[in-house]
A and B are shown apart, each in its own frame.
Chain A
Amino acid sequence: MKRSLMARLWPNATALVLFVVFAFPVYWMFATSLKPTGDIIADDPVFLPTDITFDHFRRALDADHFWTLVGNSLTVTTLAVVFSLVIALLASFALARMRFKGRRGFLLTFMIAQMAPWEVMVIAIYIIVRDADLLNSLVPLTVFYMIMVLPFTVLTLRGYVAAVPKELEESAMVDGCTRPQAFVKVIFPLLAPGLMATSLFGFITAWNEFPLVLILNKDAEKQTLPLWLSSFQSTFGDDWGATMAAASLFAIPILVLFVFLQRKAVSGLTSGAVKG
């Protein structure tokens, strides 16, 4: 009896400790951003903010170019994700539904591309973009983010297309639909959750991108939010309230999206990313 109680207690206690370990940094970001400065620089940390202030958020929002950069980030990220979805949908349909020579070769190409070391290729990309006279522009960012997201999108969507039973499509075709019609009318609606999960991961990748924009766009008005946040930290130095408010502003959209779409996203990852 005693043993079984212990056996049930241990996993739960461990899980609780782990929850705190994983959630605390996120909590601490929000908590700091809402505390008055006096509480932030107290000798004993204030774990539960009682006086809530929005001053830090105001300071972060007033910082140079914030809204311009929000616009930049949104534009670049959305365009990259939409373009890659369109292209990937076609490819994933072929890879999931058709038998043809070289299928494995194509798969392999996308798998290799998925692991492309973008972080290491910044020098070559810098020279290419400079020679094209496109430094400090959003165009190269969009283009390169699209290709960064594309292989993953192809492979993940392939998993979703494959998961739709072939019989649905076939019966639609028996009923007189052509193959493209069957795709649009029958498969596409069933793919909606998959498209959502895939675009979520694409969005996060592009939203987070750091090394490329760091080297390509030195012009303060042509940067994106990750760069803003990292330079914010160095400019505002010890103003941890404003820095944490800035970090919160950057993180909130992703956190909200992710928590809402979590289950679908995770099953999509299992079928797409790990199995290739």
Chain B
Amino acid sequence: MSVQTERTDTGTAAAPGVRKTDVTPPGGPGQARRRGGTAAPYLLLVPALLVTVVLLGWPLVKNGMLSFQNLNPRQLILHLTEWNGGDNYKEVLGSSDFWKVVQRTVVFTTANVVLIMLLGTLVGLLLARLGKRMRLVLMLGLVLAWAMPVIAATTVYQWLFAQRFGVVNWLLAKAGWSSMSDYNWFGSQFSTFSVITLLIVWQSIPFVAINLYAATTTIPKELYEAASIDGAGMWKSFTHVTFPFLRPFLWATTFLEVIWVFKAFPQIFAMNAGGPDRLTETLPIYAFVEGPGNQHYGMGAAISFLTILILLGLTAYYLRTVLKQEEDEL
């Protein structure tokens, strides 16, 4: 912590923009703010903006350029640049595999997000109803799941669902489903996706639930009192008070989750590398396997460019919601 403090201090002092306001005589806070409104904010923002634009923009542009190149092992080793127009895109968009992956990604994302939002909201509302002690207990469970590093969690799920000695198969067999005692979860598309979904939903619920609970604590009590005077029961006061109050939050969270699940990589890749038979590859995995995996870098770049376009579309909608909220706040 002390290291950070020192570094940040020198960082502030070294910024030329701040130095400049140094010289202006402090003629009251109002004036200082107006002075600060000229150049200082831009100078303060320069480092962050520069880093963001360069380090984010450069790979993006590079990705766009690569997607119009014929880039396979030969060209890669010899550093050849062979433009091939829109051939990569023609090939990608014309292949039924690509469209299957798109469809799979959409279904996978939808299923996960619906589960996350539904269960997350329910758990959040439960948190709001619990007594202090029980809330702390549940909160601890949620935080443990939330804090598990993704790769560690993936490894643990592989062990929970291991064919031999996995505790899930044992449990299912004990529950009377004896054919499951030796079940190979990673042998089929549906079962592999089930394990991945369970992992993602388990890790994502805490974010939704804890934040939703935090949001409910900001609902003014008077609203409920007024509702109960008007004769509203539990359901009515939920649909008329709680839900409208939480709606902007639920919107924003849903879009965040869509984006996060859509581009989920380590969970799927580390679980079974997109297998069996490439049947659990979603778009980011597909781009990775086609690109670096099969060394069709140009093709991989085209796939990832299309993926980014889809994400941008989703993002735009989310950003509009957030910006509107921002406007209300100012």
Given A91-B47, A115-B311, A124-B301, decide whether A259 and B144 contact each other with a Cβ distance below 8 A. yes
Question: How far does the Cβ of A117 sit from chain B's closest Cβ, in whole Å?
Answer: 5
- With A143-B55, A150-B51 known as contacts, the answer to whether A250 contacts B129 (CB < 8 A) is no
Q: In residues 265-319 of chain B, which contact A (Cβ within 8 Å)?
A: 265-266, 269-270, 283-284, 287-288, 291-292, 297, 300-301, 304, 307-308, 311, 315, 318-319
List the interface of chain B (C-beta within 8 A of A).
1, 3-5, 7-9, 11-13, 15, 18-19, 21-22, 26, 28-29, 32-33, 36-38, 40-42, 44-45, 47-49, 51-53, 55-56, 58-60, 62-63, 66, 79, 123, 126, 129-131, 134-135, 137-160, 162, 164-165, 167, 170, 202, 205-207, 210-211, 214-215, 249, 252-253, 256, 259, 263-266, 269-270, 283-284, 287-288, 291-292, 297, 300-301, 304, 307-308, 311, 315, 318-319, 322-323, 325-326, 329
Residues on B with C-beta less than 8 A from A170 are: 29
Shortest distance between the CB of B96 and any CB in chain A (Å) = 21
Task: Tell me the minimal C-beta distance from B90 to chain A in angstroms.
Answer: 19
Q: Could you name 15 residue pairs across A and B whose Cβ atoms are closer than 8 Å? A: A11-B129, A14-B126, A19-B141, A22-B144, A29-B152, A90-B48, A91-B45, A95-B41, A99-B37, A110-B48, A123-B304, A128-B59, A188-B9, A266-B211, A276-B252
| A76 within 8 A of partner (CB) | no
| Interface check A113, CB cutoff 8 A | yes
Given contacts A112-B319, A124-B62, contact A251 B149 (CB under 8 A): yes
- Given contacts A123-B292, A210-B266, A230-B155, A98 and B33 within 8 Å (CB-CB): yes
Give the residues in chain B near A177, CB-CB below 8 Å: 26
Contact among B11, B59, B265 with A210 in the assembled complex (CB-CB below 8 Å): B265
Q: Assess whether B323 is in contact with A233, with CB atoms less than 8 Å apart.
A: no
The 6 A-B residue pairs whose C-beta atoms are closest, nearest first, are A258-B147, A22-B141, A124-B63, A91-B48, A94-B41, A170-B29
Whether the pair A15, B319 counts as a contact (CB closer than 8 A) is no
Bound-state CA distance A127–B63 (Å) is: 9
Contact between chains at B150 and A210 (CB < 8 Å):
yes
**How many contacts A-B (CB < 8 Å)?**
343
Please determine whether A90 and B141 come into contact, CB atoms closer than 8 angstroms.
no
A residues 227-250 in Cβ contact with B at 8 Å: 229-230, 233, 238, 240, 243-244, 246-248, 250
Flag if A275 contacts B159 (CB, 8 Å).
Answer: no
- Are B149 and A195 interface neighbours, CB within 8 A? no
- A interface residue numbers (CB < 8 A to B): 11-12, 14-16, 18-23, 25-26, 28-29, 32, 40-42, 44-45, 82, 85-91, 93-95, 97-100, 103-104, 106-113, 115-117, 119-128, 131, 143-144, 146-147, 150-151, 154, 169-170, 173-174, 176-180, 183-184, 188, 192, 195-196, 199, 204, 207-208, 210-211, 214-215, 226, 229-230, 233, 238, 240, 243-244, 246-248, 250-251, 254-255, 257-259, 262, 266-267, 269-270, 273-276
- Contact, CB under 8 Å: A250 / B151: yes
Q: Which residues of A contact B319 (CB under 8 A)?
A: 108, 111-112
